[in-house]
Structure 1
Amino acid sequence: MQIINARLRQQPELFTLQIENGHFTKIEKQDGTLPSLKSATEVIDADGNLVCAPFVEPHIHLDAALTAGEPEWNQSGTLFEGIERWSQRKPMLNEADIRKRALSTIELLVQNGVQAIRTHADTTDPTLIGVRTLCALRDELKGKIDLQVVAFPQDGLLSYPNGLKLMEEALEIGADVVGGIPHFEYTRELGEQSIKKIIELAKKYDRLIDVHCDEIDDPNSRFLEFLACEALFHDMGDKVTASHTTAMHSYDNAYCSKLFRLLKNSGINFISCPTESIHLQGRFDTYPKRRGVTRVKELREANINVCLGQDSIFDPWYSLGNGKLLRTLDFAMHICQMMGYQDYEKALDMITDNSAKTMCLDNYGIEIGNPANFILLEGFDDYSVLRKQGEVLLSVRHGEIIMQRQPAQITSNPWVTT
């Protein structure tokens, strides 16, 4: 396969990409003449559009996807009513139910350029049906998509009956990542103990860590500093992720000045879910009303790895969602006031490279020798793709086309007269 007339990120020239045996073998600038096509069995003309590493969805809950309104809607729109509605839905879970919804959601993501997904699976369900089903799907889809499963104690690792035992069972089943939710434990002490247990289990089972951390408006919720400190002292920051951290929106600047020094030294990763956070947070405010999204812009400026996820698609916490990470990125740029041109130039990092780093994906990116995994985006650079919300025109995995669509065509303009 050859891709001709392609743009690459942060490069003004046109490129030709050669793919053989599922890997990139040549990436060359075009000199104005078309390259030799004799050796290519298939030639795709990118027509000046952007060839980009695949989108990565680092934070979603596939076990809960497509369940909004079952059996009741989250009428208040709050995080905690969402947890209550999910508790009602959990007894209805079974393997066929989860498989059907998860596969539908994965297909939606794939159609929008995603080739790697990190999903959370609730361990505060004595049957662990979500963990079992999603781990089985991960193994079935291996080679087609990278899927990581987080063992996530929605109702608390230590506050839920047998929560610790269920977590260990989930890791024995094969969950890839140890999850947590320290701010939802009954006490501060239990929250701190839960983080220590998470670190202990990750080391015991050689797993990654992804903690729902300080997903609350309370400025006194400061488990992030505890998680970062444990990651630093155990020298495992690159394997640790703090998701949400919405309380950071309410921290004062003096405290954040101290905190950011620790965060940078620890090397931990961050995931923000802006569409969901701006919807769920600030619910105790009248006006002024907080945005309730973590300090994405400040994290970027401090060179701390931060990426974006959708979190939910049509579930008890968020009743919208369409699988389009470009929409999530658009929200983040607006909400976090990242609207200078310098912010746009590398905007796609937050749904590509940064997410891949968070998930510790190997051989990710458009480089000679890497697997030929890429997407073709409607636009010629990060800014044009973001501004136009360009379509994903093509998705290629290991050199095989897994999705392709034609760009929309405007055939006439009724508002213009000749």
Structure 2
Amino acid sequence: MKIVNARLRGSSGLYSIDFDGAYFSSITPQDRQLTSDTGSIDARSRLVCAPFVEPHIHLDAALTAGQPRWNKSGTLFEGIECWSDRKSMLEPDDIRNRALETLEQLVSHGVQYVRTHADISDPSLVGLKTLCSLRDELSDKIHIQVAAFPQEGLLSYPRGLQLMEQAIESGADVIGAIPHFEYTREMGESSLKEIIRLAGAHDCLVDVHCDEIDDPNSRFLEVLAAEALFAGMGSRVTASHTTAMHSYDNAYCSKLFRLLKHSGINFISCPTESIHLQGRFDTYPKRRGVTRVKELDAAGINVCFAEDSIRDPWYSLGNGRLLRVLDFGLHICHMMGHEDFVRALDFITDHSARTLGIEKDYGIAPGKPANCILLDGEDDYDVLRRQSDVLLSIRQGQIIFQREPAQVVTPKHLSVNA
């Protein structure tokens, strides 16, 4: 297979991309438009990009909004209550069918890598076990990491720590915590220390739902970063949400950022979900409640965007379209300058790949796995502005799906030739 007349991120001109089976074999600049032939794909001056990465989603809860009731307050805490009611109805086929439908949505929008959280505040671990089984079954079609997530607390939930150990034995790739939801500050801090200990002992990645609250006194992030730093595993640790950082004062953040930089941990922001869930206890002014993405990025700290939820008790919309999430995120975080636009896709591609620890085998370069997508635009700015469709997705040198660009018929009264 070969792609001709392709544009690449950060480069000018056109390129030919050659495949050798499941790997890229060469990337060659073109001095002119080439005519496609049998076995080649004409990109028609559109952007060929590394696949999108969804670094934070909850497949076990996807498509359950309104079951058995709606989250009327729109708060994180009522969402947890709604999910606790729905969780009692979970069965393997239920989880599998909803997860497959959600993955199909993600794949149709250019996603080939997913980290899904699975609630382990459940003695049966049915969600985690089902998603681990699905991960193995779909391994040649999509890369999935399963994160063991103690939704109701690692230490506050009965036998929570033992359930986490069982989740690791059952195949979890990533382990997490939710320190701001534990009963006490001390329990929250202890939960983070336990997770770092377990991750070191079992060679797991770490992804913590950290400080997902508007409380400026919720400061578990400093504990997580310090523990990761002292354990020498910062690049394998992720802090998701960290929305309390929106409420921290700048003097504290100045101190905190020094630690974050030294620790090397990663960050995930879920802007559509956070703008919906946070600020619920404010009258006016209302906080946006999204972490300091712009400032983290400017400090050289790895940060990426995720959708988090697709039609679940916490967020009743969502469609797997990461370009929509990116659009929201850049708006909310005041990242609307030209320098932001020209590298916008970093936040749903390269940065996310680094968070998942897959950067070694990710990207478009000779010798790397032949995974890529074709976007209906010329560069990051064009794709973002137009919210472009994904026209083609290739995994391991094989076409996953292909669609034609949308055609618009101009109404006669708007035509210049009318």
* TM-score between the two structures when normalised by the length of structure 2: 0.98
- Which of the residues 301, 315, 321 maps onto 2:318? 321
In the alignment, which of 404, 408, 412 is matched to residue 406 of structure 2?
Answer: 408
The equivalent residue for 2:232 is: 235
Give the AA of the match of 2:95. I
Q: Aligned equivalents of 2:387 and 2:400: distance in 1?
A: 21
Question: Shift of residue 413 of structure 1?
Answer: 2.7
**Does structure 1 retain, via aligned residues, the 8 Å contact 2:5–2:33?**
no
Partner secondary structure for residue 133 of structure 1: helix
> What are the superposed Cα offsets for residues 132-188 of structure 1, whole Å, 9 maximum, x if unpaired?
000000000111110000000000000000000001000000000011000100001
Structure 2 residue aligned with 1:389: 387
SS in 2 for 1:415: helix
Q: Are positions 1:8 and 2:8 aligned together? A: yes
Cα distance change on mapping 1:344 and 1:142 into 2, 3 Å = same
- Check whether the contact 1:333–1:339 (CA below 8 A) recurs between aligned residues: yes
Partner SS, residue 229 of structure 2: helix
Q: Which amino acid aligns with 1:238?
A: S
- 2:367 paired with 1:369: yes
**Per the alignment, do residues 29 and 94 of structure 1 end up closer, same or farther by CA in structure 2, a change over 3 Å counting?**
same
Instruction: State the SS of the aligned residue for 1:73.
Output: coil
The Cα of 1:415 is off from its aligned counterpart by 3.5
1:196-211 to structure 2, matched below 5 A, reads 196-211=193-208
| Mapping 1:9-408, distance limit 5 Å | 9-32=9-32, 34=34, 42-361=39-358, 362-408=360-406
8 Å CA contact retained: 1:61, 1:312 = yes
**Contact 2:275 2:289 (8 Å CA) reproduced:** yes
Please list the CA deviations of residues 14-37 of structure 1 after superposition, one character each: whole Å capped at 9, or x if unmatched: 000001111111100001153896
**Structure 2 contact 391–402 (Cα < 8 Å) conserved:** yes
Aligned with 1:197: secondary structure? helix
Asked if the contact 1:274–1:328 (Cα under 8 Å) also holds between the matched residues in 2, the reply is yes
**Retained in 2: the 8 A contact 1:59–1:310?**
yes
CA–CA separation in structure 2 for the residues paired with 1:57 and 1:239: 17
Measure how far apart 1:411 and its partner are. 2.5
Which letter maps to 2:91?
A: N
Aligned residue identity for 1:180: A
Question: Is residue 4–residue 36 contact of structure 2 (8 Å, CA) maintained in 1?
Answer: no
Look up the SS of the partner of 2:140 in the other structure: coil
SS in 2 for 1:92: coil
SS in 2 for 1:17: strand
TM-score for the superposition, normalised by structure 1: 0.98
Task: Compute the displacement of 1:42 (Å).
Answer: 1.3
Alpha-carbon distance change, 386 to 123 in structure 1, aligned in 2, over 3 angstroms: same
Aligned length: 415
CA distance in 1, matches of 2:413, 2:304: 41
Q: Which amino acid aligns with 2:88?
A: P
CA distance in 1, matches of 2:381, 2:33: 27
| Superimposed CA distance per residue, residues 287-343 of structure 1 (whole angstroms, 9 cap, x where no aligned partner) | 000000000000111110000110000000000001100000000010001000001
Q: Helix, strand or coil for the counterpart of 2:176?
A: strand
Structure 1 unmatched ranges of 5 or more: none
Once residues 312 and 33 of structure 1 are traced to their aligned partners in structure 2, the CA distance between those partners, rounded to angstroms, is 42
Distance 1:353 1:108 in 2: 21
Task: Using the TM superposition, give the Cα deviation of residue 410 of structure 1 relative to its aligned residue in structure 2, in angstroms.
Answer: 1.4
User: What is the SS of the residue equivalent to 2:88?
Assistant: helix
SS at match of 1:18: strand
The one-letter code matched in structure 1 to 2:374 is L
AA matched with 2:354: K
Partner-residue secondary structure (3-state), 2:112: strand
Partner SS, residue 94 of structure 2: helix
Q: Which letter does structure 2 place at the counterpart of 1:370?
A: K
Q: Tell me, yes or no, if the aligned pair for 1:16 and 1:35 is still in contact at 8 Å.
A: no
| Distance of 1:384 and 1:259 partners within structure 2 | 36
CA-based RMSD of the aligned residues comes to 1.0
Task: Give, as a single letter, the amino acid of the residue that structure 1 aligns with 2:178.
Answer: I
Q: 2 CA distance for matches of 1:412 and 1:310?
A: 34
Question: Which amino acid in 2 is paired with 1:243?
Answer: S
Contact 1:53–1:375 under 8 Å retained in 2 = yes
Q: Secondary structure at the match of 2:326?
A: helix
The unaligned stretches of length 5 or more in structure 2 are: none
